[in-house]
A and B are shown apart, each in its own frame.
Chain A
Amino acid sequence: MSDYDILDVKFKFKKRPLDLPGDLRPNWRVPLLLTMLYYCCRGGKSSLYKLHLLNWTMRDQQRQHALLSSLTDAPQYDGICVQVEPSFIQAILFAAGEGLLERLDKSRVKITEAGVTFVKEVEREDCLAIERQFLKSVGMKLTEEWVTKFVAWSKVA
């Protein structure tokens, strides 16, 4: 029997659903975004750039470590680089659409009352525990000023 004999049957293709990484699901990403705003942004306000920076650190512990160790008076920016991830932008748009955050101007957003309520609900259910723990340890140390300096440094380099 040759290979062709084996192949000589009717093919039937069935579309099967793909698996999707958890961080690409809006219902996971939006609460995470809100948690960033709630724990790491003074007054719940943030520049988009800072959010992208935080988002970049969510991928693995090495990045988180790099960010944490650079939040000092004499910061070392090596090991930090920021990617703009389209799916994160989509999450921001969804969150804005849901009224969980509002746009202050072209480059800044602010969490709304509804957003804060949601974050608290999420914490009560102990969801996103590990992610929240990291964001809490970053806290308000990651200031807009720090971000501005980092951007300046990136441009020079």
Chain B
Amino acid sequence: MRLHIRHLSIKVTTGSGNYGVEIPFTSGLNVLRASNSMGKSTAIQAIIYGLGLEAILSTSQGVPFAHVLTQYLEVGGRDALVTESTVFLEFENEAGSIWTTQRAVKGERHPNLVTVHEGPLLTSGGTHPRQDLYVRRPGAAKNEAGFHRALAEFLGWNLPEVETYDGKLVPLYVEAIFPLMFVEQKRGWSDIQARFPTQFRIRDVSLRATEYLLRLDAYEFLLKRRSLVQRSSELKQQWESRVESAVSTANGENMRVEGIPALPTAQWPPEGGIRLLVFRSGEWADCAMIQETDEAALARLPKAKRIDNALVLTTQDSLADAEKALTAVQFAISRKLDTQEQLDLEVTRLEKRISEIEVEVRRNKDELVLRKLGSQQNLSIAESHCPTCHQGISDSLVSDLRAEFMTVEDNIAFLDEQRKMFNAVLERTRRDLARVRVELAADREESNRIRTTIRSLNATLTSPEGTPSTADIESRLTLRDSIERRKRVVRRVNEIDNALAMLAEEWSANEAELTALPKDMLSDSDSKKLTYLEKSLRSQASEYGMSSISAETLSINPDTYLPNHEGFNLAFDLSASDLIRTIWAYINGLREVATQFETNHLGLLVFDEPKQQDAAVESLAAFLKRASLSALANHQVVIATSEPLSSLAPMLEGIQASLVKFDGRVITKT
């Protein structure tokens, strides 16, 4: 990636003639020198304007220039009205293609229009294919006719999509990246972070911009993790709905599934396997076993007998047995109803208790804030003193108790523990309740079955001799039916078992990918780049004469990619002039990373008046020297300064630099 500025031209038409300036640029260090308020910043702003990047100067929609380009020029003590002014900027990309942008500041052409001449219009003249593109309108970054889209393409930038504060995806706007390469004078020197445009509402814009500029894998990791986390929550949902479906299928036939983990697991089948249980004669038995027994019983059932005296006798015995069995089941039902009622009551009680605890927690949390508010109002009770007698009040309204009470923080922790415990008990109780409900339903079904048997036995007793036994037919039908119904449940649960097996596999793959992501979310090459940046930062800081802290204690925070001092934000520890040195070192350090690694850095830096806060002359000299090394990597550093020529000239001696000096105003008569 490379952006190389070749030539800047500003043309101003006034009532008293034409004015303007031509500034050529070379590779390496370029120094523009002019005295204060002579138009140096105008030249820097023109570069920014020519690239359509004025959003990094201010959030306002207006044209970012001083009056020289918009209203009037001072000519020999008089004002000459500006009728038209235009900025031309010629620049080159990595592949050697050259563009010249033409953009009106004032005049008939709309300032949002950027005309791109696809060739070196300023340095070689001639005519070139041209297209009119626009900026500062919605779509400038995405639309075909948007200049920023074209610029990104020209630069070879393939901009990633990033998230805004309202969760939308937008391209990482070029204006969000340039603050890491261009430092303008008004806001640029206040803090390393101060310069990112906020109007695009991009979440963590500085992180995203730095990641893109250094071509870090971190953002990829972030996206990957987000999609894995999302997938994992989808899997969890699918899992829960399958489990729910298995449970309700089984409960619907008065059966119970056991052994399905409520939350996704990697291991399948789970330890102990999935068991289907049937409630039979007062206890839970394995479904397969019951099926086997019932099928054997069905096979053993003789053909329906014809009624005769012997059969009547056995039928009477059977009837007595059935009635006994019915009594037993009904007794079991009534006991279970009691249990159910108790458990129901217990659940209600627990729920009430938990909601009371929640009210208490809320009160205590309010109390924390209220106490703070109270102490802002200088209340004695906020300091645990009685407002009247100024004695300690042990923080309670129960004045005559000498007890010692928990602090509010302890009380909240205590309540949280209680809530956890009650929730666990509640969950347990609900499980028990669900089981009792199934058992009750099974018992009721059993009692219905016995009743049916009793009816058919009675029918057998009252039927005429020689007809087939109703009881025999009935019991065969009932048995067959219940075997069939259980088979259906088994089939359905098997299906769910298979589905869960697949989910478990996917879950374990997903979890494995999640754990495989690096802990600090940085790849090896990311770490190397950041380490290089840190080294560069330290060596520059010491060259530039950082004084308030030792340069060796500077580091790059892997979470923010920003310089840190012993783990703290720099702004607290640094003197104003050291902050300026750090900004030089950081911005130039980002560029130096691009000399060693593959990045998206354009190899271009623009600094407007780097000598802020009376940074020492020696510091500036060291900075210029270091910046001049940019020529070796075919990079470009543009610096505008008002440093007097007498001190600037010696600084530039012996280093490779191009000095453009203006004796008076930058914009002069042409």
Q: How far is the CB of A102 from chain B (nearest CB, A)?
A: 13
- Cα A99 to Cα B387 with chains together (Å): 9
- Cα A28 to Cα B382 with chains together (Å): 10
Chain B residue at minimum C-beta to C-beta distance from A117: B377
B568 at the interface (CB under 8 A from A): no
Pair A127/B396 contact, Cβ less than 8 Å: no
| Chain A, range 76-91, C-beta contacts under 8 Å to B | 86-88, 90-91
B379 at the interface (CB under 8 A from A): yes
Pair B405/A94 contact, Cβ less than 8 Å: no
B362 at the interface (CB under 8 A from A): yes
Chain B residues, Cβ within 8 Å of A43: none
Pair A22/B363 contact, Cβ less than 8 Å: yes
Pair A29/B374 contact, Cβ less than 8 Å: no
Cross-interface CB contact of A25 among B386, B388, B408, B414, cutoff 8 Å: B408
- Cα A130 to Cα B366 with chains together (Å): 11
Chain A residues, Cβ within 8 Å of B382: 27
| Chain B, range 391-409, C-beta contacts under 8 Å to A | 393, 395-399, 403-408
Chain A proximity mask over B365-393: 1 for CB below 8 Å, otherwise 0: 01101110110110111100011100001
Cross-interface CB contact of B405 among A18, A93, A100, A114, cutoff 8 Å: A18
Query: Number of contact residues on A: which range applies?
Result: 35 or more
Chain A residues, Cβ within 8 Å of B374: 27, 30-31, 118
Cross-interface CB contact of B404 among A18, A23, A31, A91, cutoff 8 Å: A18
Of B360, B363, B411, most buried by chain A (CB within 10 Å of CB) is: B363
Total A-B residue contacts, Cβ distance less than 8 Å: 106
Chain A residues, Cβ within 8 Å of B411: 19-20, 22
Given A17-B405, A26-B396, A30-B381, the answer on whether A127 and B387 have CB atoms closer than 8 Å is: no
Pair B406/A25 contact, Cβ less than 8 Å: no
A3 at the interface (CB under 8 A from B): no
Chain B residues, Cβ within 8 Å of A100: 379
Given A17-B410, A19-B405, the answer on whether A125 and B388 have CB atoms closer than 8 Å is: no
Chain A residues, Cβ within 8 Å of B388: 93, 97
- Cα A96 to Cα B403 with chains together (Å): 25
Chain B proximity mask over A111-137: 1 for CB below 8 Å, otherwise 0: 000100110011001011010000000
Pair B405/A20 contact, Cβ less than 8 Å: yes
Cross-interface CB contact of A97 among B362, B371, B386, B397, cutoff 8 Å: B386
Pair A122/B370 contact, Cβ less than 8 Å: yes
Chain B residue at minimum C-beta to C-beta distance from A87: B397
Pair B366/A17 contact, Cβ less than 8 Å: no
Pair B386/A24 contact, Cβ less than 8 Å: no
Chain A residue at minimum C-beta to C-beta distance from B401: A18
Pair A25/B369 contact, Cβ less than 8 Å: no
- Cα A118 to Cα B386 with chains together (Å): 18
Cross-interface CB contact of B399 among A20, A23, A90, A99, cutoff 8 Å: A90
Pair A128/B406 contact, Cβ less than 8 Å: no
Of B387, B388, B411, B414, most buried by chain A (CB within 10 Å of CB) is: B387
Chain A proximity mask over B326-346: 1 for CB below 8 Å, otherwise 0: 000000000000000000000
A15 at the interface (CB under 8 A from B): yes
- Cα A93 to Cα B387 with chains together (Å): 9
Q: How far is the CB of A14 from chain B (nearest CB, A)?
A: 11
B415 at the interface (CB under 8 A from A): yes
Q: Is the interface of A mostly helix, strand, loop or mixed?
A: helix
Q: How far is the CB of B256 from chain A (nearest CB, A)?
A: 38
- Cα A82 to Cα B10 with chains together (Å): 85
Q: How far is the CB of B491 from chain A (nearest CB, A)?
A: 49
Pair B404/A17 contact, Cβ less than 8 Å: yes
Pair A23/B415 contact, Cβ less than 8 Å: no
- Cα A111 to Cα B403 with chains together (Å): 31
Chain B residues, Cβ within 8 Å of A21: 360, 363
Chain A residues, Cβ within 8 Å of B360: 21-22
Chain B residues, Cβ within 8 Å of A122: 370, 373
B318 at the interface (CB under 8 A from A): no
- Cα A30 to Cα B384 with chains together (Å): 13
Pair A28/B396 contact, Cβ less than 8 Å: no
Chain B residue at minimum C-beta to C-beta distance from A90: B397
Cross-interface CB contact of A114 among B377, B403, B410, cutoff 8 Å: B377
Pair A24/B398 contact, Cβ less than 8 Å: yes
- Cα A31 to Cα B551 with chains together (Å): 52
Chain B residue at minimum C-beta to C-beta distance from A128: B366
Cross-interface CB contact of B395 among A25, A86, A114, A125, cutoff 8 Å: A25
Pair B406/A19 contact, Cβ less than 8 Å: yes
Pair B380/A19 contact, Cβ less than 8 Å: no
B595 at the interface (CB under 8 A from A): no
B364 at the interface (CB under 8 A from A): yes
Pair B363/A121 contact, Cβ less than 8 Å: no
Pair A98/B395 contact, Cβ less than 8 Å: no
- Cα A97 to Cα B390 with chains together (Å): 10
Given A21-B360, A118-B373, the answer on whether A97 and B398 have CB atoms closer than 8 Å is: no
Chain A residue at minimum C-beta to C-beta distance from B397: A87
Cross-interface CB contact of B371 among A27, A93, A98, cutoff 8 Å: A27
Pair A28/B363 contact, Cβ less than 8 Å: yes
Pair A31/B406 contact, Cβ less than 8 Å: no
Of B376, B381, B398, most buried by chain A (CB within 10 Å of CB) is: B381
Chain B residues, Cβ within 8 Å of A17: 404-407, 410
- Cα A2 to Cα B370 with chains together (Å): 53
| Chain B, range 178-201, C-beta contacts under 8 Å to A | none
- Cα A100 to Cα B382 with chains together (Å): 13
Chain B residue at minimum C-beta to C-beta distance from A115: B377
Q: How far is the CB of A33 from chain B (nearest CB, A)?
A: 11
Pair A121/B405 contact, Cβ less than 8 Å: no
- Cα A145 to Cα B406 with chains together (Å): 42
Chain A residues, Cβ within 8 Å of B397: 24-26, 29, 87-88, 90-91, 94
Chain A residues, Cβ within 8 Å of B380: 97-98
Chain B residue at minimum C-beta to C-beta distance from A31: B370
- Cα A94 to Cα B374 with chains together (Å): 12
A-B contact pairs, 28 of them (CB 8 A): A15-B404, A17-B407, A18-B404, A18-B405, A19-B406, A19-B411, A21-B360, A22-B362, A22-B367, A25-B367, A26-B396, A27-B367, A27-B371, A27-B382, A28-B367, A28-B370, A30-B379, A86-B398, A87-B398, A88-B397, A90-B398, A94-B386, A97-B388, A100-B379, A125-B369, A127-B369, A127-B370, A127-B373
Instruction: List the 4 shortest-distance A-B pairs measured between CB atoms, nearest first.
Output: A22-B363, A97-B387, A87-B397, A97-B388
On A, residues with C-beta under 8 Å from B are 15, 17-31, 86-88, 90-91, 93-94, 97-100, 114, 117-118, 121-122, 125, 127-128, 130
